[in-house]
Amino acid sequence: MKEAGENYLEAIYVLSQRQQEVRATDICAYFGYSRPTVSVALKHFKEQGYVEVDGNNHITLTESGLAIAQKIYERHVVITRMLVHLGVSEDVAAADACKIEHDLSDETFRCMKEHFLGTGGGEETH
């Protein structure tokens, strides 16, 4: 999956943690995107089996969509924390984490996480 797709799924996940129902308008507000742009993306994600949209236009992640979203969100949180720990401002750390989280191999992220958190990967980050 491409970075933009991962960002959409992560946004749906983050929004679902903040509120009971996620709608396309929430995603539009989150990114500052137009409704048609978000609608096209959601249609694509439905076709690929990453999201479901019910009769009330509530968006939920499928099991596969949730797995991707949680993986990206964990990377975002851990990398942001690492950068802040190094002295990077919160805003810059979050923006940089957003760029880095998509391109790291699983091995590199696992090693970074183990080094920074001092765990074998069992610690929750969200």
Q: How far apart are CA 61 and CA 116, in angstroms?
A: 30
The third-level CATH classification (topology) of the domain covering 71-117 is: Diphtheria Toxin Repressor; domain 2 (1.10.60)
Where along the chain do its domains lie?
3-66, 71-117
Taking only the tens of pLDDT, the chain with its 126 residues reads 788 889 999 999 999 999 999 999 999 999 999 999 999 999 999 999 999 999 999 999 999 999 999 999 999 999 999 999 999 999 999 999 988 988 889 999 999 899 888 755 444 444
Q: Rounded to two decimals, what is the model's pTM? A: 0.82
The fold adopted by the segment(s) 3-66 is Arc Repressor Mutant, subunit A (1.10.10)
